[in-house]
Amino acid sequence: MDLYLKILRTAVRSTPQTNHHLQYILEFLAQLILVLGSSLHIQHPEGMFCKFYLNNSSARPSDEEWEKGRRLGSGTFGLVVLWTNKEKGTTLALKHYKGNMDQKNHDRWIQEVLIMKTLKHPNVVRAFDVPEQLKVHSSNLPVLAMEYCSGGDLRTVLSKPHSSYGLNQMTVNDIISQVADGMYYLHENNIIHRDLKPENIVLKPMAEGKVVYKIIDLGYAKDIGHGSIPQSFAGTLQYAAPDLLQKKPYSKSVDYWSLGILSFELINGRRPFSPVDNDPVVGW
């Protein structure tokens, strides 16, 4: 029983109120474990409980201290800040909502958090459970904890003087190949990104000079897994497919258009279309 009590105390923030109830929780769990073990014909079910708990770090909050770092940027709806675990040296990019929120943006924010937590691909930024200590820095809305990519975004790369006429062919091939892999993964999971652009591609430097390119910011993403056919505009005008501008039903193909615009910009250092102030349709 002492072992279970120790486990419970690491699983909750220690306060007089929580400590007062731990023993009651423990007794309930002990009875539950015995009942489950008996019904499933499991010998020593308490051992399985301990093994599961100790082998799954996500089953309990982290006790380490986190240090707030610099602001990494802003997404569609959220502000992203770097946090570092001072004991382990691990980092997280924590995204929380900025400003006031209407119902439409609230729904989009919830959608982004839900989608991100289901994805696992090397070319899509990973989402993790938010450490318990960092939840106090959030509002009542869900917070998104993501892997930190220290190389910045493609917009930063394209803004450098040596990139004014585009990137070299090998780099372009590498970027487009990886972004296309990430996009294909999203499409296989019935998700349209709808806002592919240099600002939403980040770089994660790896060993031996290799760089992994990852898709971020699913604030405008659309899940079409239940037969939903989108037709509303979302995204950034300079990278938006004509289908989006016409507000007609569209499919995953709108992401291919954005990828094409991105490819042109990587090769030439500029977008294929220049903003036209007097254009009544585009109005960039």
- Give the residue numbers annotated as catalytic, written as ranges: 195
DSSP 8-state symbol, 266: H
* Spatial separation of the C-alpha atoms in residues 202 and 215, rounded to whole Å: 7
CB within 8 A of 73, min separation 6: which ones? 80, 153
CB within 8 A of 19, min separation 6: which ones? 9
Locate 138 and state its tokens. Answer: 């959030």
* Spatial separation of the C-alpha atoms in residues 94 and 105, rounded to whole Å: 19
In this structure, are residues 175 and 218 in contact, taking their beta carbons and an 8 Å threshold? no
Angle (CA) 83 86 87, round 5°:
135
* Spatial separation of the C-alpha atoms in residues 99 and 189, rounded to whole Å: 31
Task: Name the residue with tokens 């023993």.
Answer: 23
